[in-house]
Structure formats: C-alpha cells, structure tokens
Amino acid sequence: MTKIDFRPKQTLGQNFLVDENVARKIVNSFAATKDDVVIEIGAGLGVLTKYLVEDCKHLIAVEIDRHLIEKLKNQFSMLENFTLLEGDFLKMDFEPYFSERPLRIIGNIPYHITSPVIFKIFEVRQFFKNLQLMIQREVGQRIVAKPSTKDYGILSVFSQFYSKPQLVFHVSPNVFKPKPDVESSVINWDFENAPEFQVKDMELFRAVVRSSFNQRRKMLRKSLQKLPGISHKLGEIKFDMRKRPEELIVDEFVELSNLLSD
C-alpha cells in the first residue's frame, strides 16, 4: 500500500487508490494502445495516470483540485504526450478532441458525480470508443441490470441503449485511502458495439423512459398520462399499457415510443 502525503478532501470525493496491483489491473483491463487518445477524469495523485500515459498516444488528465494539479504538473508535465486540464470535468468542453480517433475515457471518479459524468458522456458518445469508470457497486449493478429485477431502471435502459455495458470487476474498499463506506466496481460502456435501434423521436424516447420509471410501481398507462401531447394516443396504440416499466426490455421502450410518435 502506497503512503499518501496529502490531506484528502471529502467534498471533492477524494478516495485515493493506494494499491498498485489494483491500479495496474484497471489500466490493463482498459488496454489502451499507442493509437488511443485517452481522457482521464480526476487524476488525483496519478496512480492510474502514470500507467496510462505510457500506454497511449496522448493522455488528457482532468483534475479539479489546485494542490493536486501542482503535484501532477511536477510529475508529468515533462512528458510530451501529456496534457493537464484544470477544472470541473462536468463543465468542460471536449469538442477540441472530438476529431481524435480512437478517443476513450477512464476515471476513478468521485461517486457523487457518477450520474452527471455518465450522462455527459452519453450526450457525445458518438465521438468515444468507450468509457470505463470505477463507481459504487450498487450503481454498477443498476447499469448492467436485466429487466424485471429491482436494479433495472433509467441507468440500465440508457446504458444498454447507448452502449454495451459490462462489469469488469469488483473492488474492495480496503484499497483506498481514506477507505470509502461502499464497495466499488469497474464498469465499461462499449459505445462501438452498442446495439442498433431505430428511434423515430429521441426526445420522446427519453421522456417515455424517464416518466415510466418516475413511478416504477405504476402501470405505463398511468405514468405516461402526464407526458405532453400523447395522452390521446395511450388508449389507441397496440401496446400492453398495463405493464410496469421494469418489465420492458430496451427494444420495447423503443417500440412504445415509436408507436406514440406516429
């Protein structure tokens, strides 16, 4: 276990990975090559950074903490294939990198920003080969959850719509300093091998998924009533509206929203 000479800030979700074997395992499973341009979210003390920068063509590390920025600069700024971006990942614009291929993204991120990070990447997924994150184990379970399970919800449907998500492995709290209260999992969203769906109206598809799960115990007929402009179609379409959202596979959400868009 590595010692850390830094006082972690809870507000920034700082739990540093201090087990080199786990760090190597994460970077190995990501398997960057010399063709890859990689963005790392929350580089911290650089535990993944030092391996990633060796593997890939260009590493763009993002870090919000000014003190860590100084440390990262000292350790990596002499490397030609290293770029450091200071600030909040959620507010950053990565458009300048969208012309790079293959573009990939990785991070052991603060768990309180998991959903916003995932949805930010989903918006621009066409530019990325994959996303690999260390997240809270429960959230990971929701991402890969199958229909008719308690974990199946908005995160599952969107993850399985936009990508082919996969659990890479679980990680014990004992390999972090400070030790988090929760177990972790490494999850990979493979955008290249996402299934293909024909969605007629993306806005409506998204609204249907969200509204359905907002009241996950209710029948679709009931929870979709509040969606603007479609209530008159609910009784007409050929779809079993007595179902509950957790019973629908992604294909069925697509089918339902397509029927409602006609």
The residues binding ligand SAH (CB under 6 A) are 12-17, 41-45, 47-48, 62-65, 68, 88-90, 108-110, 113
- Give exposure, 108-127, as e/b (b: 16+ Cβ within 10 Å): bbbbebbeebbebbbeebeb
Q: How far is the CB of 134 from ligand SAH (least distance, A)?
A: 7
Cβ proximity of 220 and 177 under 8 Å: no
Q: How far is the CB of 92 from ligand SAH (least distance, A)?
A: 8
Residue 115's alpha-carbon distances to 136, 186, 231, in angstroms, are: 11, 15, 30
Q: How far is the CB of 87 from ligand SAH (least distance, A)?
A: 7
Q: How far is the CB of 90 from ligand SAH (least distance, A)?
A: 5
Q: How far is the CB of 62 from ligand SAH (least distance, A)?
A: 5
Q: CA angle, 123 as apex, 193 and 207 as ends, to 5°? A: 100
- Give exposure, 25-40, as e/b (b: 16+ Cβ within 10 Å): ebbeebebeeebbbbb
Q: How far is the CB of 116 from ligand SAH (least distance, A)?
A: 9
Q: How far is the CB of 8 from ligand SAH (least distance, A)?
A: 8
DSSP 163: S
Nearer to ligand SAH, 62 or 224 (CB): 62
Nearer to ligand SAH, 43 or 248 (CB): 43
Cα(57)–Cα(80) distance, integer angstroms: 10
Residues whose CB falls within 8 Å of the CB of residue 141, separated by 6 or more in sequence, listed in order: 151, 185
CA-nearest of 224, 176, 174 to 47 is 176
Closest residue to ligand SAH in the complex (CB):
42
Nearer to ligand SAH, 67 or 150 (CB): 67
Nearer to ligand SAH, 109 or 207 (CB): 109
CA-nearest of 254, 250, 220 to 235 is 220
Bridge partners (DSSP) of residue 131 are 105, 189
Greatest alpha-carbon pair distance for the chain in Å reads: 65
